[in-house]
């Protein structure tokens, strides 16, 4: 699994999180400057929610591939489960304020905790991958 493929999902989910945590109004202001003032409400639910869903699913797919490669099964790979919990929390944090009024502080907390878990699981996975690659290279060089 490549760093680029895994970081693609992280960038998407971090973008969505940043929008939900305060960057959304900046994008809405830019859209209004170009005559798209209704873009803010469209951005929130019709763009950010699907983008968050796709990003989290992309990360989970990559973590499942990594789990099968390193642990033999996804069910035995801790970063997958940590990422799954983090992705679910962040996703609920994005969606919750649009479903229940007055839940923005809860949604913000869920996004922060969820993204911390998701990023931590991805970094852990990349470190595992790097460790495996280094071990494979050292065994190849020692056999030559």
Q: Tens digits of per-residue pLDDT, 46-97?
A: 777 787 888 888 889 888 988 998 889 999 999 999 999 999 999 898 888 8
CA-wise closest residue to 79 among 113, 39, 121 = 121
Q: In Å, how far are 37, 50, 54, 81, 97 from 45, measured between CA atoms?
A: 15, 8, 14, 27, 10
C-alpha span between 95 and 82 (Å, rounded): 20
**pLDDT surpasses 60 at 1:** no
C-alpha span between 95 and 99 (Å, rounded): 7
The verdict on residue 37 lying in a domain is yes
**pLDDT surpasses 70 at 103:** yes
Give first-to-last CA distance, the chain, whole Å. 26
Q: What is the pLDDT of residue 53?
A: 85
The verdict on residue 138 lying in a domain is no
The verdict on residue 65 lying in a domain is yes
Number of domains the chain is built from = 1
The verdict on residue 139 lying in a domain is no
The verdict on residue 57 lying in a domain is yes
pTM above 0.85, yes or no: no
Average pLDDT, the chain: 80
C-alpha span between 23 and 26 (Å, rounded): 5
Gyration radius of the chain over CA positions: 18
Domain that holds residue 123: 3-131
Of 15 and 27, which is predicted with more confidence? 15
Segment 85-114 mean pLDDT? 88
The verdict on residue 141 lying in a domain is no
The verdict on residue 83 lying in a domain is yes
Q: In Å, how far are 14, 68, 76, 127, 134 from 18, measured between CA atoms?
A: 6, 31, 32, 25, 34
Left (φ > 0), alpha (ψ -120 to 50) or beta: where does 16 sit? alpha
């Amino acid at each position: 699994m490549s760093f680029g493929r895994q970081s693609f999902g992280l960038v998407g989910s971090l973008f969505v999180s940043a929008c939900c945590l305060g960057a959304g109004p900046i994008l809405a202001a830019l859209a209004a400057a170009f005559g798209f003032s209704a873009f803010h409400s469209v951005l929130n639910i019709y763009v950010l929610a699907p983008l968050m869903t796709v990003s989290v699913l992309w990360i989970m797919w990559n973590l499942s591939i990594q789990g099968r490669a390193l642990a033999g099964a996804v069910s035995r790979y801790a970063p997958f489960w940590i990422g799954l919990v983090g992705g679910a929390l962040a996703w609920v944090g994005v969606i919750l304020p649009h479903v229940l009024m007055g839940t923005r502080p809860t949604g913000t907390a869920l996004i922060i905790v969820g993204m911390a878990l998701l990023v931590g699981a991805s970094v852990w996975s990349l470190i595992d991958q790097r460790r495996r690659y280094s071990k494979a290279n050292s065994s190849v060089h020692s056999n030559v």
